[in-house]
Chain A
Amino acid sequence: MKRKQPSSDHLLHQKVAQLLSAYLDGQVDDRERYLVEQHLSTCPVCQRELESLRQVVRLLNRLPPVTPPYPFTLHPEWVAPARPPVWRWLFGVPGLATGLAALMCIIMLAGVLLYNQIVSYRPVMPLARVPVTHSIPGIPTVVSIPGVTSTATPTVSSPAVARDVLSPSAESSLPGSMPASPIPGQPGEPPAPIPTPSPEAREEYGTPSPTPLVVQPERESAAGAQPSPQQAEVPGEATVEEDMRAQRYVGAASPEPSFTIPPTAGAMVVSAATEAPVAQPPTEEVVIPSEPSPAAIGAAVPPTTTIPAAPTPSAEKAAAPSDLPPAVTTPVKPTEMPETAAEPSPVAAAAVIPPETETPAVPVEVPTTPPPVEVPEVSAEPSPTAEAKAVPPETEIPAMPAEVPVTSPPGEVLSAEPSPAAEVEAAPPETETPIVPVEVPTVSPTEGTLTSIAEEGVLITPTSVEPDVAEAPSIGPTEIEPTPTRIPIPVRDLRLTIKPGLIHIEGTLPLPPGQLIQAELWREGQLVEWAIPETQRGEVQEEGRFELALRAQPDHPDFDLLKAPPAHYEVRIVPLKFEAPVEARIPFDTSPPATKQP
């Protein structure tokens, strides 16, 4: 017994020793407890073992609590890593190469300058300008939307945008140096200055976008021909040359590395234009197929648009554009522009234009270029369509259209507006306008905007300058932009829906969740009290999503914006009590459905 006991005791002892810890905590079942207690009564070793463990636990229990050195509450900035902070949005675009960041900065600066300039010039404030400002931040995103334009690859588009932007900026920045741009605007002078300075100016300074416009005119005019060498291409070459110019401008405007990009962009645009007519196989979007025409139109339009902007000058040479051009032109003096319009249009036009419907004008000059041919067709068919598609992107573009009014196209835009498409985001270019009525307006969300911006940008550069000048005189009255102090921020995934008494906006802003935002409705640069104030406020949700439903005051005369006189609107979204003075602008135009051309 005695000999056996030790061994059995030993086993039991080990078994119990393993249970002591749990026994201490009462975490043993009845059988185990019985076992342990039986053993403990006879085993001093296990008793002490238990006692030692109890002591350890007691000591640990008495460890004093420690206090965190600082609160671990999270700062909003830490939590929004996924979304780059506002300032990064402004100065660098996510997704784009760092190289572009620098470019962006420049563009932005240029945009601001241009913006200011514009403000001073025009009261009306065409969309174009606005877009420019906006465009910078948004640009990055652009990619997808580009599809609207037409064929161009999404990717490409971004560059295009950049380029466009640049050119405008260049102009804006160089106003002084660039006599060319301003000159054109002035009726009398344009012709003269252009010929001489233009060539030099281009080469030396940047040849801001304006030059291009001028150039053509010159050429046409005959005398001007000289300068053209650089740009000389003219009708036949159209696409290629245009691109080239575009590049040049860019380069000239800002001696930046961006060069490469521009070409692509140009290429894109051009191609788009060209293809569109042909009936390109818009690969990207389903919508596109239907759009081809739109695209074409868009392309075409630009020219037209341009033309108008440009002081019609060329009516004579360009002439062809019988109807539209003349109208536009008239106001201004025809001296040089005709071609200008044509040229620029191709490039920029593609994107921007749509709104405008200028197709008609295009025909004449454009034709030379491959696209032109198509253009005519496009105009014929799609004109309506074109408008529609144009619209979406246009939010910004519209601006130009706004002025454009001369041309009927804008009207179409609304009607045509593929509002649906717009909502879809990508869609801008849908043909189905019919749907439109409900949603209509433009709307291109950030992305859409971006696209449009890009397009617009193009137009803007070349055209805008002239137009501004031209318009300035006519409208002159007000300066639309009261406060350029707010820094634009992009709106992504924008969906804008306009119905009678309602402006519904949703999208994504680079603002932290919980941020209060307030929308303002601006009409032709004037803040209007249209919506019920309570409906203008909202809160940014997770990941920057927001949704606002501005409801019109019931008795407001313009309860239904679509039935009100056509105008350029902007919804500006301002964060309340925010650290930086920023705002998001969502421009759109309303215009009565009109038929451009027969």
Chain B
Amino acid sequence: METVARAQRGDLRAFNRLVLAYQNLAYNVAYRIMGDADAAADVCQEAFLSAFRHIRALRGSSFKSWLLRIVTNMCYDHLRYQRRRPAHSLEELTTSEDAGENPEHFSWMTHEGAGPEEQIMSRELADVLQSGIASLPADQRAIIVLSDVQGFTYQEIAEITGIPLGTVKSRLSRARAKLRDYLLAAHPELLPDKYRQLIRDEEETT
């Protein structure tokens, strides 16, 4: 890509065009992994800065994949840092008990006859999902975000994260199952009735 080539020659204006082209993607990935707007913005700014400084090292792979790799790696770094200095997180916002007390809150989500307006996810539901993602290990977060939020293919994810395709598959599988379990525990109303019923039955039988 010519713009990338120019950016590689130190053309800041060219690079800034790349920034504008990819900043939404980068920010969304970072935001979903981090679960925090400020942290995501910081990560993105750092990532673009780092990308500019090292863009000459970019060879072969696409700028998009390479950029997202920087973003996800920086997210990991940030998360590690946060773990060492825990701050008040979203977990405080939604405890399973609170949610359990207001299951009807999300009942419409699974309602068969949900209209167009209901297709729009409520802020509350988004927060629940976000906290569900936050409950996952960092490596699973990145993969489930890239796959199910951003729609990247397994192949693309393998390229971005640099991990083997098989690992992407298994990690994504575990991430989805974990998130499902989280939702089931925190907001069972989000899952299909049949599934809830089934779980209930199993619990009773065991």
Interface residues of B in 1-22 (CB under 8 A from A): 9-13, 15-16, 19-20
Interface residues of B in 54-82 (CB under 8 A from A): none
CA distance A514 to B11 in the complex (A): 7
15 A-B Cβ contacts within 8 A? A18-B173, A20-B173, A53-B177, A55-B110, A55-B190, A59-B121, A60-B149, A61-B149, A61-B151, A67-B24, A68-B23, A69-B41, A73-B23, A512-B12, A513-B12
Q: Taking A55-B192, A72-B19, A73-B19 as contacts, is the C-beta distance between A44 and B198 under 8 angstroms? A: yes
Question: Is the CB–CB distance between B44 and A51 below 8 Å?
Answer: no
Interface 0/1 of A35-68, CB less than 8 Å to B: 0000000001100110111011101111111111
Q: Taking A513-B10, A513-B11, A514-B13 as contacts, is the C-beta distance between A52 and B119 under 8 angstroms? A: no
Question: Is the CB–CB distance between B195 and A78 below 8 Å?
Answer: no
Question: In the complex, how many angstroms separate the beta carbon of A70 from the nearest chain B beta carbon?
Answer: 7
- A368 contacts chain B at the CB level, 8 A cutoff: no
CA distance A109 to B198 in the complex (A): 84
- With beta carbons under 8 angstroms apart, the residue of B121, B184, B194, B198 that contacts A63 is B121
Q: Taking A48-B192, A56-B148 as contacts, is the C-beta distance between A543 and B10 under 8 angstroms? A: yes
Q: Taking A71-B19, A71-B20 as contacts, is the C-beta distance between A66 and B37 under 8 angstroms? A: yes
In the bound complex, residues from chain B placing their C-beta under 8 Å from that of A1 are: none
Question: Is the CB–CB distance between B198 and A48 below 8 Å?
Answer: yes
- With beta carbons under 8 angstroms apart, the residue of A18, A60, A70 that contacts B129 is A60
Question: Is the CB–CB distance between A59 and B190 below 8 Å?
Answer: yes
Question: In the complex, how many angstroms separate the beta carbon of B196 from the nearest chain A beta carbon?
Answer: 9
In the bound complex, residues from chain B placing their C-beta under 8 Å from that of A97 are: none
Question: Is the CB–CB distance between B121 and A65 below 8 Å?
Answer: no
- B134 contacts chain A at the CB level, 8 A cutoff: no
Question: Is the CB–CB distance between B170 and A74 below 8 Å?
Answer: no
Interface residues of A in 194-225 (CB under 8 A from B): none
- With beta carbons under 8 angstroms apart, the residue of B37, B126, B154, B176 that contacts A64 is B126
In the bound complex, residues from chain A placing their C-beta under 8 Å from that of B120 are: 64
Question: In the complex, how many angstroms separate the beta carbon of B163 from the nearest chain A beta carbon?
Answer: 15
The 8 A-B pairs of least Cβ separation, nearest first, read A542-B10, A21-B173, A60-B148, A68-B27, A73-B16, A48-B195, A52-B195, A72-B23
Question: In the complex, how many angstroms separate the beta carbon of B63 from the nearest chain A beta carbon?
Answer: 14
- B144 contacts chain A at the CB level, 8 A cutoff: yes
Q: Which residues of B contact A (CB under 8 A)?
A: 9-13, 15-16, 19-20, 23-24, 26-28, 31-32, 37, 40-41, 44-45, 48-49, 52-53, 109-110, 119-121, 125-126, 129-130, 144, 147-149, 151, 154, 169-170, 172-173, 176-177, 179-180, 183-184, 190-192, 194-195, 198, 202
CA distance A61 to B121 in the complex (A): 10
User: Looking across the interface, which residue of chain B has its beta carbon closest to that of A60?
Assistant: B148
In the bound complex, residues from chain A placing their C-beta under 8 Å from that of B125 are: 59
Q: Taking A64-B121, A513-B10 as contacts, is the C-beta distance between A72 and B195 under 8 angstroms? A: no
User: Looking across the interface, which residue of chain B has its beta carbon closest to that of A75?
Assistant: B12
CA distance A66 to B194 in the complex (A): 32
- With beta carbons under 8 angstroms apart, the residue of B23, B180, B195 that contacts A71 is B23
User: Looking across the interface, which residue of chain B has its beta carbon closest to that of A45?
Assistant: B198
User: Looking across the interface, which residue of chain A has its beta carbon closest to that of B151?
Assistant: A61
CA distance A22 to B168 in the complex (A): 10
In the bound complex, residues from chain B placing their C-beta under 8 Å from that of A57 are: 148, 176
- A229 contacts chain B at the CB level, 8 A cutoff: no
CA distance A27 to B169 in the complex (A): 8
User: Looking across the interface, which residue of chain A has its beta carbon closest to that of B170?
Assistant: A18
Question: In the complex, how many angstroms separate the beta carbon of A32 from the nearest chain B beta carbon?
Answer: 11
CA distance A64 to B24 in the complex (A): 12
CA distance A43 to B16 in the complex (A): 53
User: Looking across the interface, which residue of chain A has its beta carbon closest to that of B25?
Assistant: A65
Interface residues of A in 479-533 (CB under 8 A from B): 512-514
Question: In the complex, how many angstroms separate the beta carbon of B149 from the nearest chain A beta carbon?
Answer: 5
Q: Taking A79-B12, A542-B9 as contacts, is the C-beta distance between A52 and B28 under 8 angstroms? A: no
Q: Interface centre among B9, B109, B177, by most A CB within 10 Å?
A: B177
Q: Taking A27-B169, A61-B148 as contacts, is the C-beta distance between A72 and B45 under 8 angstroms? A: yes
In the bound complex, residues from chain B placing their C-beta under 8 Å from that of A25 are: 147, 154
In the bound complex, residues from chain B placing their C-beta under 8 Å from that of A21 are: 169, 172-173, 176-177
In the bound complex, residues from chain B placing their C-beta under 8 Å from that of A22 are: 154, 169, 172-173
Given contacts A57-B148, A63-B149, A67-B24, 19 further A-B contacts (CB under 8 A): A18-B173, A21-B177, A22-B172, A25-B147, A44-B198, A48-B198, A49-B195, A53-B176, A56-B176, A61-B149, A63-B130, A68-B41, A70-B41, A71-B19, A72-B44, A72-B45, A73-B16, A513-B11, A514-B11
Q: Interface centre among A18, A22, A63, A512, by most B CB within 10 Å?
A: A63
In the bound complex, residues from chain A placing their C-beta under 8 Å from that of B151 are: 61
Q: How large is the interface on A (under 10, 10 to 19, 20 to 34, 35 or more residues)?
A: 35 or more
Question: In the complex, how many angstroms separate the beta carbon of A314 from the nearest chain B beta carbon?
Answer: 57
Question: In the complex, how many angstroms separate the beta carbon of B112 from the nearest chain A beta carbon?
Answer: 13
CA distance A101 to B10 in the complex (A): 30
CA distance A70 to B40 in the complex (A): 11
User: Looking across the interface, which residue of chain A has its beta carbon closest to that of B38?
Assistant: A69
In the bound complex, residues from chain B placing their C-beta under 8 Å from that of A27 are: 154, 169
In the bound complex, residues from chain B placing their C-beta under 8 Å from that of A71 are: 19-20, 23
Question: In the complex, how many angstroms separate the beta carbon of B186 from the nearest chain A beta carbon?
Answer: 13
- A76 contacts chain B at the CB level, 8 A cutoff: yes
Q: Taking A63-B32, A514-B11 as contacts, is the C-beta distance between A53 and B198 under 8 angstroms? A: no
User: Looking across the interface, which residue of chain B has its beta carbon closest to that of A50?
Assistant: B195
CA distance A239 to B110 in the complex (A): 95
Question: In the complex, how many angstroms separate the beta carbon of B147 from the nearest chain A beta carbon?
Answer: 8
Q: Interface centre among A44, A48, A70, A543, by most B CB within 10 Å?
A: A48
Question: In the complex, how many angstroms separate the beta carbon of A257 from the nearest chain B beta carbon?
Answer: 36
Question: In the complex, how many angstroms separate the beta carbon of A577 from the nearest chain B beta carbon?
Answer: 15
- A117 contacts chain B at the CB level, 8 A cutoff: no
In the bound complex, residues from chain A placing their C-beta under 8 Å from that of B202 are: 45
Question: Is the CB–CB distance between A66 and B31 below 8 Å?
Answer: yes
Question: In the complex, how many angstroms separate the beta carbon of A515 from the nearest chain B beta carbon?
Answer: 11
- With beta carbons under 8 angstroms apart, the residue of B10, B12, B37, B121 that contacts A62 is B121
In the bound complex, residues from chain A placing their C-beta under 8 Å from that of B31 are: 66
In the bound complex, residues from chain A placing their C-beta under 8 Å from that of B44 are: 68, 72
CA distance A25 to B170 in the complex (A): 13
Q: Taking A18-B170, A21-B177, A27-B154 as contacts, is the C-beta distance between A51 and B37 under 8 angstroms? A: no
- A553 contacts chain B at the CB level, 8 A cutoff: no
In the bound complex, residues from chain B placing their C-beta under 8 Å from that of A230 are: none
Question: Is the CB–CB distance between A541 and B26 below 8 Å?
Answer: no
Question: Is the CB–CB distance between A514 and B27 below 8 Å?
Answer: no
CA distance A47 to B75 in the complex (A): 35
In the bound complex, residues from chain A placing their C-beta under 8 Å from that of B121 are: 59, 62-64
Question: Is the CB–CB distance between A59 and B176 below 8 Å?
Answer: no
Question: In the complex, how many angstroms separate the beta carbon of A33 from the nearest chain B beta carbon?
Answer: 14
Q: Taking A21-B177, A513-B11, A542-B9 as contacts, is the C-beta distance between A66 and B27 under 8 angstroms? A: yes
In the bound complex, residues from chain B placing their C-beta under 8 Å from that of A70 are: 41
Q: Taking A21-B173, A60-B148, A514-B13 as contacts, is the C-beta distance between A65 and B28 under 8 angstroms? A: yes
Q: Interface centre among A62, A74, A513, by most B CB within 10 Å?
A: A74
In the bound complex, residues from chain B placing their C-beta under 8 Å from that of A45 are: 198, 202
CA distance A54 to B149 in the complex (A): 13
